[in-house]
Amino acid sequence: MNRHILRWLIAGTLIAASPYATAQDQAAIEAGEKVYEEHCQSCHGEKLRSAGAMPDLREIRQDERPKFDTMVMNGRSQMPAWQGIITPQELDQLWAYVRSRAR
Ligand code: HEC
């Protein structure tokens, strides 16, 4: 095969592969933001900025996904349970959104 064509093929594959994952992540983050605005913002604050009374979800760490899932699905005291309302896919999207704003 001609070297020139080969180089274009490799470049094309790299360009096609890398933004794809990012675009997918970005889509999940945006979808998560919608779910958050609909179900969580009223308590946890606009753009995850808690006014103080509620836990600030930006404080959740990367390794706390299991705790996050349990909390969202089962609730606790004032925190409602979302089992049957939020789908597993929406839970992933919420997590992507929360992680994108972690500090
Ligand atoms: C009615 C108000 C309210 C709504 C709506 C609400 N939460 Fe909460 N949330 C709370 C309260 C209050 C707590 C603290 C509960 C406790 O610690 O006992 C909490 C705790 C949490 C925690 C645990 C935080 C930590 O660091 O311990 C997570 C995660 C969470 N909420 C996520 C969500 C998500 C995601 C949504 C939307 C699907 C949501 N919450 C909607 C009130 C709410």
Q: pLDDT tens digits for the chain (103 residues)?
A: 677 766 665 655 555 555 666 888 999 999 999 999 999 999 999 999 998 889 999 999 999 999 999 999 999 999 999 999 999 999 999 999 999 999 8
Domain membership flag for residue 83: yes
Nearest CA to ligand 1 atom 17: 76
Counted domains in the chain: 1
Task: Compute, in angstroms, the gap from residue 41 CA to the centroid of ligand 1.
Answer: 10
Is 72 among the domain residues? yes
Whole domain around residue 57: which residue ranges? 28-100
| Rounded Cα gap, residues 46 and 71, in angstroms | 20
CB count, 10 Å around CB of 89?
11
Atom 8 of ligand 1: nearest residue by CA position: 79
Please indicate, yes or no, if residue 20 is contained in any of the structural domains.
Answer: no
User: Considering the domain boundaries, does residue 46 fall inside one?
Assistant: yes
Quote the ligand 1 centre to 27 CA distance (angstroms). Answer: 23
- CATH classification at residue 41: 1.10.760.10
DSSP states of 85-103: TS-HHHHHHHHHHHHHT--
